[in-house]
A and B are shown apart, each in its own frame.
Chain A
Amino acid sequence: MKKWIALFCAVLMTATLGACAAPAAPEATAAPVATEAATEATAATPEPIAAPLEAADVQLFIAASLEGAFKEIIPLYNATQPNVTITYNADSSGTLLTQVQEGFACDIFFSAAVSQVKTLEEEGYMIAGSRVDLLANKLALITRKGSGTVVTGFADLAKAKSIALADGSVPAGKYTRQLLINLGVLDGAKEAKDYTAADVSAALGGVEINECSNVSKVKEAVKEGSNEVGTVYYSDAYSVKDDVDILEVADTALTGDILYPVCRVNNAEATAAETAAADDFLAFLQTDAVKAIFEQYMFIINQ
């Protein structure tokens, strides 16, 4: 008897699974946050492209923070180039770099920092001259909406009760420390990334610092009110725009350029059609229609 109950459960489960998956069309779906933006973006018609390309599969590696934008960009591209399949691998730029170095097939690499693309170039993975510093970001000081903070910007950061700060090995943490050096808060005796949270706290007169291992945690700490203020990328503020206020966006003169370069990567497995499609997609990324999508995600167009 029990056996039959178990069997019945198993069948029921399989059936339910089948049912809930039936309406799903893979790759055709977009993130719900993006739908509103998508309709606006399609209104701006993409620049006409001459002939449809042959069927090809393009391997796109993107930094995780770009995924939302690409969920809109890829369908837009497929509207003019239906034969080309863009397959993307989204992860931290560091992981993506390791994967390319270990022989993952990659045609286009879109990094959240310059260093990975530099490595690709130095080690001969990048197709020479293909790098485009397409996007830029800025450092933003955020607080929870209605937190009543007296902090108005980076200059009076010392007035905060607590600050969420990415650690020095994280780019956002490094840029924040660089900014504090340029503001004269930190003495500049060592490299920006080498200042510990205790150093920063001491320089700010003993403000409590919540040291976070990545920017998403900073964002959460501020959004949930654990910390009064925090420094994140301007584009990060997009995903929490209903919950946080941006107090100040740092001038790049204070942080140094924060660039998101994209480049073509040598892919030994690529056919001629795939190479052509990858080149075409990289060109497409530089069109105004695509730039408009990136801007909706609060990236700054650099070139």
Chain B
Amino acid sequence: MQEIWDILKTLDYSPLWISLQTGLVATVICFFLGIWTARSVMHMGKRAKAFVDGILTLPMVLPPTVAGFFLLLIFSLRRPIGSFLYDELSIKVVQTWLGCVLAAGVISFPLMYRNARAAFEQVDIELIYAGRTLGMSERAIFWRVVLPSAGPGVVSGTILTFARALGEYGATSMLAGNIAGKTGTISQRIAMVIQNGDYLTAGMWVAIILLISFGIVVAMNVFADSKMRNIKKW
């Protein structure tokens, strides 16, 4: 017990903050982008839809290290896009926290997009017609009719996105690196300490990340439950 306390006292907590910030920011971005993309894809023609959907789901299929490698090729300072961003806009993705967010975002994006799309496609179209008949603007219909009735799907997408983003390892290590205090996330820290045979510290980190993700997911569930009264229990 004393030993555990000693470790907790001397632990470098930077991975915790890096992971939490990465997870939260990536989730917020994916939330809006995923909903927007889901809406856009829904309106496409059949073929375009199948094609675009395939591309958007790819990050989920590829091993994260491979996805990370592709991201690295895109944002590499030695290649067109990456050097343009850096030279013209001073945006540096590789070797920075931004890289963590981007890697986690790209890998977890399909979870948000897919869930949101499935949920939107289930929305009762009569409700939307009713909204139009009553003279609501399309924007108002989306936020006040569609989103509430697609709520459970959107919430589950958000939770999965956050969980995936928080635990991202492969793509992050490729794109952002494992720089202690800068891009070293909890997952990367766990991999490092296990490699060095320090199972006690690894266990601490596992406990920390489990507690946090559990807490946040429970909180999101409670919040969602209180918000959505239209959940059918059968």
Q: What is the minimal beta-carbon distance from A211 to any residue of chain B, in angstroms? A: 19
Complex alpha-carbon distance, A91 and B79, angstroms? 23
Let me know if B197 and A240 touch, CB within 8 A: yes
Residues of A within 8 A of B191 (CB): 64
Q: Mark A7-28, 1 if CB is under 8 A from B, else 0.
A: 0011001000100110110111
Assess whether A9 is in contact with B198, with CB atoms less than 8 Å apart. Answer: no
Max chain B C-beta neighbours (<10 A), residue from A27, A65, A88, A219: A88
Asked if B133 lies at the interface with its beta carbon under 8 angstroms from chain A, I say no
Taking a contact as CB atoms under 8 Å apart, the answer to whether B215 and A9 are in contact is yes
Q: Which of B7, B17, B77, B179 contacts A87 (CB 8 A)?
A: B179
Minimum C-beta distance from A218 to chain B (A): 13
Q: Which residue of B lies closest to A22 (CB)?
A: B13
Interface mask (B71-88 → A, CB under 8 Å = 1, otherwise 0): 011001111001000000
Whether a CB of chain A sits under 8 angstroms from the CB of B200 is yes
The contact of B173 among A30, A91, A102, by CB within 8 Å, is: A91
Contact (Cβ within 8 A) B193 A31: yes
User: Are B226's CB and A21's CB within 8 A?
Assistant: no
> How far, in whole Å, are A64 and B180 apart by their CA atoms in the complex?
12
Residues A90 and B174 in contact in the complex (CB < 8 Å), given A21-B16, A239-B197? no
A89 to B182, CA, bound (A): 10
- Bin chain B's interface residue count: 35 or more
Within 8 A of B (CB), among A117-153: none
| Majority-rule SS of B interface residues | helix
B42, CB-defined interface residue at 8 Å: no
Interface pair B200/A32, CB less than 8 Å apart = yes
B120-128, B135-143, B148-156, B217-225: which lies at the interface: B217-225
Q: For the complex, what is the distance from the CA of A2 to the CA of B69, rounded to whole Å?
A: 44
Asked if A6 and B226 sit within 8 Å, CB to CB, the answer is yes
The interface residues of chain A, by DSSP majority, are classed as helix
B225 to chain A, nearest CB (A): 7
Q: Are B196 and A68 in contact (CB under 8 A)?
A: yes
Which residue of A is nearest B183, CB measured?
A: A89
Contact of B76 among A1, A30, A103 (CB under 8 A): A103
A196 within 8 A of B: no
Distance in angstroms between the alpha carbons of A32 and B2 in the assembled complex: 13
CB-CB < 8 A to A24: which residues of B? 11-14
Cβ–Cβ < 8 Å partners of A2 in chain B? 222, 225-226
A243 → B minimal CB distance (Å): 9
Pick from A10, A20, A240: contact of B219, CB under 8 Å: A10
Contacts of B218 in A (CB 8 A): 9
- A99 at interface (Cβ–Cβ under 8 A)? yes
- State the Cβ distance, A96 to closest chain B Cβ, in Å: 8
B200 contacts across to A, CB distance below 8 A: 32
Complex Cα distance A104/B82, Å?
11
A98 within 8 A of partner (CB): yes
Residues 186 to 245 of chain A near chain B (Cβ within 8 Å): 216, 219, 238-240
B178 with A99: CB separation less than 8 A: no
B212 on interface, CB distance cutoff 8 Å: yes
8 CB contacts below 8 A, A to B, read: A3-B226, A6-B222, A31-B193, A64-B195, A65-B195, A67-B195, A102-B79, A103-B94
Ranked 6 nearest A-B pairs via Cβ: A239-B197, A103-B77, A2-B226, A102-B76, A24-B13, A6-B223
